[in-house]
Chains A and B, each alone.
Chain A
Amino acid sequence: MVGVVNSQVVFERPAAMSSVATHYCPGCTHGVAHRLVAEVLDEMGLVEKTVGVASVGCSVFAYNYFDCDFVEAAHGRAPAMATGVKRMLPDRVVFTYQGDGDLASIGMGEIVHAAARGENITVIFINNANYGMTGGQMAPTTLPGQKTTSSPAGRDVEQMGFPIRTAELLATLEGAGYVVRRSLHDPKNIRLAKKAVRLAFETQVRGLGFSMVELLSTCPTNWGINPVDSLQWVEDHMVPAFPLGDYKVADAVAQIRLR
């Protein structure tokens, strides 16, 4: 076995991820987002001091996939629950993992106030332009004209209003230390997303206030298109509507140098 001598591990499951198969649909980017968070927890050595807050949506079982303590919030209330955990355990790392229905619709009040308070938590925000778990209804992020199971003729902005750009909205708040939008539709963007997740956790660990990474994500099952076309759909339709970028990087965060 001569070849084996020179072999080296170049890719493996992050230690922070439990060794179980996820329940996510093929092609869904929730798994990618999970992985990025797990890699960052590993790199920063945070697994043993982190409490995750799962939300209601497809990621409701996130607690099964991470090797850290977890609590499960009510729909939309993860930022409030995370606030309770963090205030009692200020030396722990607390993150929420929320979908767009959870965060930007039913939980809009909780997320805005957590950001306004400069709550020292990290929010991973999955924007997939619909309500995944309940079968693809219109979300506050659904694009104008986009067909969903509750906007079968396409989102009519006259009746149903316009999509909400959450990162931009939260960036106006002084309590926000780090608020950015990234996308998971190709390797380059995934690498950028990873960096952002890292910076978000660095922001928290340094006590620099509220941090959120909004991640444009796919939902092939409910969009009714295959995984590859879904990635293309993100690039063609979601990126123009939800521009990628840094919306709030507090001065102290901008000075963080990694490695």
Chain B
Amino acid sequence: MPKELLKGNIAMAEAAIRAGLEGYFGYPITPQTELLEWMSARMPELGRVFLQAESELAAINMVYGAACTGARVMTSSSSPGVSLMMEGLSYIAGTEIPVVLIDVMRGGPGLGNIAPAQSDYNQIVHGGGHGDYFPIVLAPSSVQEAIDLTVLAFDLAEKYRTIVVVLADGSIGQMMEPAELPPMKPLKTTRPEWATTGATNREKRVLSSIYLQPEQEEITNLRLLKRLEEIEANEIRYKSYYLEDAEFVVVGFGTAGRVALSAVRMARAEGLKVGLLRPITLNPFPIAQLRQITDQVKAFLVVEMNSGQMLLDVQRATMGQAPVEFYGRLGGVVPFPDEILAEIRRIATTNEYATNGFVRRNWLRRLETLVDGGE
């Protein structure tokens, strides 16, 4: 397929369609809405299911029912709408059925704004719904990657009978870039052996997340954990840049990782030995990969568009063996490359690192100064 100039939201929608999407259920919310609108035109045209639900609560439960039939189905939303989906996500996880969710994150908390943010990290990566469950989380940093990860999401969801979240943000959803769409895949013709499609010539099937006996629920939880182990063994994805001789390593995902790459390149031009590790799977998190370079680096710098939600995972991975500094912008503000470059310079030249307990406090003081215009 030739490259086209594509808007992220539409690219993800069309990628899902070409990956064999059979049913879409959603509710409008900026900065994700173009995805739903694209579906509303394309899905009926292809004789597939599109339904605008009355709320995200209904949308995720429609997806829940649709997924029970064994079809490829998805929903998409942005942060406030995703909050409303948490109940359904927990039920879907407990029922062990494949569902794809695209979350185009925006600034919060509350109604917040419609600018790009990464503050759904915790509610997506570490749960948000009740109970112990572990969706696979994929974080694109370009329109092309958003396309590729959307296609991958469906395969992973079915392979592991799990929720897969494509965790994008407003800038991935809204920006236009040249990108290549995959060819149209034919729709699945078979249904999995667990699907509830009507018990024609077979025993009846039940799909449910209820296990009244705690011992049974414990076994279910163990099964979910074993699956997670398998996912951790097979599915960790990340991208690294200039790590070979790096003394300082920036860690950032999605848009923050992309902006950080520009900063890292600028720093390299200044002769600073700095590299970038950009996790693509936020769950499973590239823990071993981070741990592996911990001995080699003088310090890490985590960059996020939130108050340090992934920072805690990086600290966990590096286990105090190297200092981990933090720089974040909040509430829908996207950092500029030179802000991150300034942080890289500070770290690379001062050799003064906050001990882990003070990382966020020190960052906050610096951010306050920046936001107040240095007053």
Contact = CB atoms under 8 A, between A and B. Distances in A.
A86 B198 CA distance: 11
11 contacts: A51-B197, A67-B199, A70-B205, A71-B207, A73-B65, A80-B57, A83-B65, A84-B23, A84-B73, A109-B54, A113-B54
Interface size class of B (residues with CB under 8 A): 35 or more
Which 3 A-B residue pairings sit nearest by Cβ, starting from the closest?
Answer: A84-B65, A72-B208, A84-B66
A83 B200 contact: no
A224 to B, nearest CB: 26
Interface of B: 22-23, 25, 49, 51, 53-55, 57-59, 61-69, 71, 73, 87-88, 91, 95, 196-201, 204-210
Interface in A89-113: 89, 92-93, 109-110, 113
Given A51-B197, A85-B65, A69 B57 contact: no
B interface, over-half SS: mixed
A258 B267 CA distance: 81
Instruction: With a 10 A CB-CB cut-off, give which of B69, B201, B210 has the most chain A CB atoms.
Output: B69
B66 A67 contact: no
A73 B71 CA distance: 18
A63 interface: yes
Given A73-B61, A84-B25, A87-B51, A47 B199 contact: yes
Interface residues of A, number: 34
Nearest to B49: A87
B30 to A, nearest CB: 22
Contact of A80 (B65, B200, B205): B65
A162 to B, nearest CB: 24
Given A73-B61, A84-B61, A87-B66, A68 B199 contact: yes
A30 interface: no
A88 B49 CA distance: 7
A85 B66 CA distance: 5
A80 B206 contact: no
Given A73-B64, A83-B51, 15 more contacts: A47-B199, A48-B200, A51-B68, A67-B204, A69-B204, A71-B206, A71-B207, A72-B209, A80-B53, A84-B64, A84-B73, A85-B196, A88-B49, A92-B198, A113-B53
A54 B54 CA distance: 21
A68 B87 contact: no
